[in-house]
Structure 1
Amino acid sequence: MADLELERIVDKLPAGFADLEADAMADGHRQMTRLAAELTETPGIFHAAYACYLGGRLAGIGAMTDEPAPTGQPTWRMRRFYVHRDFRRRNAAYAIAMALLQDAAGRVSTMTVHAGNQAAAQFWEAIGFSRVTGLTWSHQRTMLETTARR
């Protein structure tokens, strides 16, 4: 993981975004196109977003927002999560997810995610998310020591 670098996304898309967005579209996913629009139109919805670089190339992005469904407790959702097909299975998704979870620690009681396919479900389960049914998200992870600040 020596050539892996994380960069916090604040107010602009990271270098290499067009290639990541094109790969996502070719892979049948629109979350990078949505991310680009949201960063332009409503950047304040993101509690955090990270870009991961491998060997200097943008390998993936992940972000988190408030959980849009009512929950009755402080809950955030991992979203706009995508790793370029050329960089999968090289710890990019893990590094992004761990950075986001670290940012959320002590701030919310639950993290949610909607896994779009079985491979994504297996990833989320491998890092401590549990499968749920009957909710608008597919997996959740209970966070320890919540102070519920925003």
Structure 2
Amino acid sequence: MSLQLVRVIDHLPTDFPALQAEAEREGHRNLTRLAQEWSADPTEFVALLAAFYDGRLVGIGGMTREPDSSDEPTLRMRRLYVSPQARRQGMARVIANALLQEAFDQSALVTVHAGNAGAAAFWMAMGFAPAEGRNWSHERRPH
């Protein structure tokens, strides 16, 4: 059993529609938004990583420039999703850590917008702190 992270460059993975449908069934629209954003302008993503477990797409996550104003160069982690069957195995953490490593080569501030309490708890476990009065919910600087 092996986990492989692959940088998405030219097109979304072939089995992305199945992952997107799975997210939709759970009530998550972030992969539908990802598909729309990628179709409109793939260069919006500074990085987009797909996670494959034993050859099957089980997760994806991306990073863009922070869309809201900031006093310094800032990147935003977005569109992170892991298939329910692959959760609680560290997949989201692997994707997020790889994106963070890349982000801190380019920026001293990384933001996220946690859509619910579970996401907020995940980001806080990843070292993000709540951000008050900002257009993002949590932020992290390199340690």
Same-fold status (TM-score > 0.5) = yes
What residue number does 2:38 align with?
Answer: 39
What residue number does 1:99 align with?
Answer: 98
Q: Is the contact between residue 74 and residue 108 of structure 1 (CA under 8 Å) also seen in structure 2?
A: yes
What residue number does 1:13 align with?
Answer: 12
Structure 1 residues 14-93: aligned runs within 5 Å: 14-93=13-92
Supply the AA of the counterpart residue of 1:33.
T
- Between the aligned residues of both structures, percent identity stands at 48
The list of structure 1 runs, each at least 4 consecutive aligned residues, that deviate by more than 3 angstroms after superposition, is none
Q: Distance in 2 between the 1:118 and 1:51 partners?
A: 24
Q: Is the contact between residue 66 and residue 77 of structure 1 (CA under 8 Å) also seen in structure 2?
A: yes
Q: Distance in 2 between the 1:5 and 1:34 partners?
A: 24
Structure 1 length-normalised TM: 0.90
The question of 1:118 aligning with 2:114 is answered no
Aligned-residue offset at 1:48 = 0.3
Aligned-residue offset at 1:12 = 0.5
Supply the AA of the counterpart residue of 1:83.
V
Q: Distance in 2 between the 1:35 and 1:114 partners?
A: 15
Aligned-residue offset at 1:134 = 2.0
Q: Deviations over 1:28-72 (max 9, x none)?
A: 111111111221211111100100011221111000001111011
Q: Distance in 2 between the 1:54 and 1:138 partners?
A: 30
Partner of 2:119, secondary structure, is helix
What residue number does 1:127 align with?
Answer: 126
Q: Distance in 2 between the 1:118 and 1:48 partners?
A: 25
Long gaps (5+) in structure 1: 145-150
Q: Distance in 2 between the 1:26 and 1:133 partners?
A: 32
Long gaps (5+) in structure 2: none
CA RMSD of superposed structures (Å): 1.2
